[in-house]
């Protein structure tokens, strides 16, 4: 296994970590015509409990 020979400087470590960026969560409209609330894609709607036109969880 490769092991670094010298300790990486603080400035090099911080400049490398400065590229770690997060993005805002993507939201899509619920496919239920009565609901249409924003929800994460590929997940059941937390408001109405439907996914792909089927009731999968109890409504909140």
How many separate helices (H) and strands (E) can be counted in the chain? 1, 4
> In this predicted model, what pLDDT tens digit does every residue of 3-40 receive, in sequence order?
989 999 999 999 999 989 889 999 999 999 999 999 99
Strands (E), 1-60: 28-29, 38-39, 50-51, 54-55
CA–CA dist 56, 27 (Å, integer): 19
- Within its chain, how far is the Cα of 19 from the centroid? 18
On the question of pLDDT at 60 being above 80, the answer is no
Could you tell me the residue ranges of all domains in the chain?
Answer: 26-60
Pinpoint the alpha helices (H) of the chain.
10-17
DSSP 51: E
**Residue that is written with structure tokens 């239920």 in the block:** 32
């Amino acid at each position: 296994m490769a092991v670094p020979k010298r300790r990486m400087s603080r400035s090099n470590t911080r400049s490398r970590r400065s590229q770690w960026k997060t993005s805002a969560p993507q939201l899509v409209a619920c496919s239920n015509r009565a609901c249409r609330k924003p929800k994460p894609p590929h997940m059941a709607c937390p408001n109405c409990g439907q996914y792909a036109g089927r009731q999968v969880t109890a409504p909140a």
